[in-house]
Each structure stands twice: as structure tokens, then as C-alpha cells.
Amino acid sequence: MTTSPAVVANPTVEAREVSKWFGQKVAVSDVTCSFGPGLTGLLGPNGAGKTTLLRMICGLLSTSDGSVSIHGTDPRRDHRVYRTVALVPEEDAVYGFLSARRFVTYAADLSGVSRAGVDEAIALVELISAADRPIAEFSKGMRQRAKVAAALVTDPDVLVLDEPLNGTDPVQRAHLIEIFKRLARSGKTVIVSSHVLAEVERMADRVIAIVDGRLAAAGDIHAIRQAMADIPYRLRIDIEQPRRVAARLIDSDNVSSVTVTGQTLRVETSDLPALGTELPRLAKDLGVRLTVFEPEDESLESVFRYLVRRRK
Amino acid sequence: MAEGVVFDLGWRPHEGPRLGRAGARIAVYKDGLRRVLGLRRRARRKVFPFVMLSAALVPGLFVVGIGVVLRDFGEIANFFGHAEYFNFTRVLALIFIALAAGELLVPDRVNGTLSVYASRPLTTTDYVAMRAASLATVVAAFLWIPHLALFLGRAWVGGFGSYVAANVEILWETLIASLVYFAAFAPLAFLIAAFSKRAAVAAGLFIGVITIGGQTVAGLVRSGFDVLGLFDLSHNAGYVKDWVLGASSQRWSPELAGYEPWMSLLVIIGVAALCFLGVHARHRSER
């Protein structure tokens, strides 16, 4: 039996054939995916349906079709699931007139947990020096961190973060990413949405990609790339006498295009393993030295670019 | 040699109990109280609620002062009894509820903070009910404390033990009358606030509906349109209040139209229920 990479073996959060439409506009269409302990990146361009999917997962929005569950329970039917779920929404869901400390304390009270962890949560997001200032005076990045602290104080099993790194500076971003990774390592289910590819690539081992409201790809980023057999791989090859090598490669059935730039060849191939066998043999025949042989498009950015282009 | 230590600043999991829905409801209730009274806000936010509370209390304290000085409440009681006092404080209650309802509901919806509540062990009903409960507490106290002051002043002059024994029912009667005013005004104020983007606009609209609507109904009733007598929420509340207190402080529109006080009470309950459903539906759709 084969299982889709979009689903995990022991899910804590599941979306089954979920769709959501607002009048004529279809925001999410027939998405089935699940999330388990660890960090999963929910990736998609702006307007792809990530926020809608997350809001359905958290029960803030009803599904037009399909179902969602957290720990096997529909969050819109049983509010008890929220005892162990925390959401950091994309919008500025904070009270400007409250200080960060009061806001995080209120979050602890609303979730019925002890206030003992308030200062710790604020310290963890490095807001302790501004903890008693009104949130209205905060920068965007500080407000984001206040929201994250308000989620962390509840010590959730499932942490859903919608674009949590928006407005944060690079140092804060790296720090927050480290927090999310640490929570994931401790067995929490952490779902982070982002339209910034580099962020997702840095923090998530597993990716769910949404494009135009539909599930575009899921799984480990390298596995996703390998599954896209119809799109040729782009390779960078650094080799002596590149023009001689290029002339031989262009005759190969495994190569669809070759570009020469200085000592570097850029080759497109639909059969990477075959080329991996053929090229060293060719180098030996020609008596030239091969120094670099690496895929150029296994980054999340290039995979994502392919996914978006394919949808269009 | 200097010694050093590196502390683990890592996250420590919560190990205590999770109070769940009860804890969340209490938190929303307390937050509502703070918001209505402007607590933990800048000083100017406290001015309005405490000026209103003072304005409601001062006449009572004045009457108590005169009664205590004269050692007699007889004449004053006829002129400024509990039922008449409500006719004065209801105006303050109307303004207070108008602004407090907006302050309780509008910022949450407009600032997107409803998701703070929607992702907690809390239903939409809990949220709306706890917001209403916090306003009810403040309004009931606002309307009732002056009566408590009057009661204690009279008890002091009239012989404490005997006066309390003979008149203790006035305490719960005035408390019920206070809640009647809350039930008559607050649901409509909440409903308007639930569909408004600005608290001040909601307050103005609510006061306009109650005052202009009330005047219109009163005029129509006087012109013979008796069937409209139950459409004046303010007079319905006054009519029921007099019924509860066993008084007749004014001729109310429903009374002039020939309706019984319990009919006015049913209208208050019915309007409150409809408004609650409206507010609930609005907040459920806005989660």
C-alpha cells in the first residue's frame, strides 16, 4: 500500500478533502494533509490559501466541504481541543493598550494555565526589557514576538503559526526559528506558514506546498524535486575543456540542453542518475578533470518556482 | 580562578493543571470588568466610568446626609424614594451601557483579537455571555449601590435592627430592578455594537434608538396606537421596575396602552433573546 507524503503515520492534526469557498471564489480546494510531531512548513505564495487552511485547521473557519480534526476531534464541535492548541494568527491580534506582560498573562488565563510561565515566555522571545511597555508602542517584529510568547505560555501540544516571522529582523528571525525547531524536537506539532522560501527551507524538514488553494506538493524537499520527473534537472558542472565536453554531451540522449560559461557547464537532464554515470566516463575518455557536479535546482525556491509555474 | 556557569534558558513545559473552559470564562469576565471600568488603562479611560458612578451615587449620599441631619426621612422618602431614584439613574445607566457595550465588543472585532478567544477552550456563547456578565455586574452595582446607601441611611435613622427587619426586601427588589434595566438596555446596545466599527458610533446610535424611539412610541400611544405601547424599551423597564418595587413613580407607555407589567417583562426577555442570537451569530461568523 502506498501512502501520500501529504499525510503522516501518527497525525495530531488532519485535514481531509477540505475545501473552502467564499461565494464564487474557491480559497482552498480538496486538500488532504496531516501533521504530526515535528516542524512542517506550509508554503505558498500570498493568496494561495494558507491562512484559510490554517484557520480551518484551528476551527476558526468552517469548512465548505471535508473535515478537520485535532487529536481526532473536530475543533468546531469540541472546544476542549483548544486546551493544547495555540495559534499565532497573521493579523495583529493583540491589545495595543496592554503591556506585553499583561497580554501574555491574559493568554495564560484564557488557556487556564499557571501564570508562572509568563516571564519565561517573554524572556524566551527576548522581550523582557520591553515587557511593561504598551504593545501599541511596539514595532511589527516585537508584536509578532509578543504573539509568539502568548502562544508559548500555554505550552501547547500543537502550535500553529501563520507567517510568524513577518516584520522580524534577521537576528530575531533566527532566534524564533531556533525556538520553533526546539519545540518540534521536544515532540510538539509545529506548523509554520510562510511565503518566504528561505525561512521555510531553514526550519522545516517537511513541506506542504499550496498553490491556488490546491495541494501542490508535499514531503521532503529533495523528494519533491525527484518526483517532478517531467521537469529536467539543472546541473552545474565544472570541468576542464568545457566546450569539448559540451560537444559530446549534446549528442547524449540524457541531455536536453547545455550552456557554457567560462569553465562551467549548465546542463539540463531528465535522467540525473544516467548522466551521473555517463559524465565521469566521458571525462576519462577525454582526459579532463571533473571538479564540480551538483544540482542547481534542489533548493526550495527553485522547486517552488516550478510548482507555481506548473499551476499556471 | 574565576568560575562561570551557563544557565539553560530553554523552554520549561507547563506541569500544572489546565483549567479549561471555566478558567477561560473567568478570564474573559475579569477582562470585561477591567475594560468597562477602564482599569489598567490610562487615567483618561477611567474618567468616564467613575464620573458616571459618582453621578449615580452623589444624589443618594446627599439624601442620606439630609435625612441623617434631620433625623427624619419621611418627606424626602416621598419625594426621592427608590422608584424615583431609578428614574434618575436610568438615564446615566443608558449612557453608561451605550459606551461600555461598544468598549466591550467593538475593539475585539475591529482589531482582529477575536481569534485570541476563538483559539481557546471557549465557545462563542461563553464569550458573549461573559462580556454581558461583566457589564451586568458593573451596571447592577452602579444602579444598586445608591439604593444600598439609602437603605443604610434610613436604617441608621430608623433604628437599625427594626428597620432592616421590616424593610430588608427592598435590597433584593432594588437589585432585581437594577437587573431589569440592564436586561432592557444592554442586549440592544450589544447588538448595535456587534455590527459597528466604532464604539462611539454604536453608543450614539443606541441612545438615539432608545430616546427617539421611546418618544415616538409615547406620542403614538397618546394618539391612540395602543398596540405600540410595548415597543418602548425604556418604559417597559420602568413599568417592570415599579411593579417589582410595588410603586407607581410615573405613567409608563405600556401602562397607558393598557398592558400588564408581566407583558413588558416578556417583551424585555424576548428582545434580549433575539439580540443575544444576533450578537452570537455575528461573533461566530467573525471568529
Segment A188-227, tens digit of pLDDT: 999 999 877 777 878 888 889 888 888 888 887 777 766 6
B27 contacts A106? CB cut-off 8 A = yes
Query: For the residues B266-286, what does the mean pLDDT come to?
Result: 92
pLDDT band per the 50, 70, 90 thresholds, residue B8: very low
Q: What integer pLDDT is reported at residue A243 of this predicted model? A: 92
Q: Is residue A128 part of a domain?
A: no
Does residue A207 sit in the same domain as residue A77? yes
- Give me chain B's average pLDDT, please: 88
* Mutation for A interface: B119, B120, B122, B134, most A CBs within 10 A: B119
Within-domain flag for A135: no
Q: B2 CA to chain A: closest CA distance, Å?
A: 27
CATH code at position A17: 3.40.50.300
Residue type, B27: A
Of the residues A202, A226, A250, the one at which a domain ends:
A226
Statement to judge: residues A184 and A39 lie in one domain: yes
Kindly state the percentage of chain B with pLDDT values over 70. 92
In a domain, A144, yes or no: no
For residue A56, what is the nearest residue in chain B, using CA coordinates? B287
The CATH number that applies at residue A255 is: 3.30.70.100
| A209 and A237 part of one domain | no
Taking residues B108-112, what's their average pLDDT? 86
Query: Which tens digit of pLDDT belongs to each residue from B21-38?
Result: 888 999 999 999 999 999
Whether A22 contacts chain B with CB within 8 A: no
Give the domain range for residue A36. 13-97+153-226
pLDDT single digits (tens) B154-186: 888 878 888 889 889 999 999 999 999 999 999
Predicted confidence at residue A5, as pLDDT, reads 82
Q: Do A98 and B40 touch (CB under 8 A)?
A: yes
- Residues A158 and A290 placed together within one structural domain of the fold: no
pLDDT over 50 at B85, yes or no? yes
In angstroms, the CA A14 to CA A69 distance is 5
Asked if the structure places residue A305 within a domain, the reply is yes
Based on the fold, state whether residues A208 and A159 are members of the same structural domain.
Answer: yes
| Residue B6 reports pLDDT greater than 70 | no
Q: Which of A226, A253, A268 is the last residue of a domain?
A: A226
| A276-285 burial code (b ≥16 CB/10 A, e <16) | eebbeebbee
**Are A159 and A111 in contact, with CB atoms under 8 Å apart?**
no
Are A161 and A56 in a shared domain?
Answer: yes
Rounded to 10 degrees, what is the CA torsion of A43, A49, A55, A60? Answer: 180
Same domain, A283 and A207: no
**B240 contacts: CB under 8 Å, gap ≥ 6:** B177, B180, B184, B261, B264, B265, B268
- Report the pLDDT value the prediction gives residue A234, as an integer from 0 to 100: 82
Judge if A43 and A164 occupy the same domain. Answer: yes
Report residue B65's pLDDT band, with 50, 70 and 90 as the boundaries: confident
What is the pLDDT at residue B271?
A: 96
Residue with cell 498573562: A105
Where do the structural domains in chain B lie, given as residue ranges?
20-285
End-of-domain residue from the set A208, A226, A244: A226
| pLDDT given for residue A212 in this prediction | 84
B18: which chain A residues are within 8 Å (Cβ-Cβ)?
A: 83-84, 111-113
Residues A170 and A267 in one domain: no
Q: Are residues A163 and A305 in the same domain?
A: no
* Residues in chain A where the model's pLDDT stays below 50: 1
Examine the domain organization and report whether A211 and A162 are in the same domain.
Answer: yes
A125 within some domain: no
Cβ count near B2 (within 10 Å): 3
Total number of domains in chain A: 2
State the pLDDT at residue B10: 55
Q: Are residues A244 and A282 in the same domain?
A: yes
Quote the minimal CA–CA distance from A121 to chain B in Å.
8
Residue A231 backbone dihedrals phi, psi, to 5 degrees: -105, 120
Q: What is the pLDDT of residue A93?
A: 86
> Burial level of A182, CB count in 10 A (0-12/13-18/19+)?
middle
Look at residue B9 and tell me whether its pLDDT is greater than 50.
no
pLDDT band at B1 (very low <50, low <70, confident <90, very high): very low
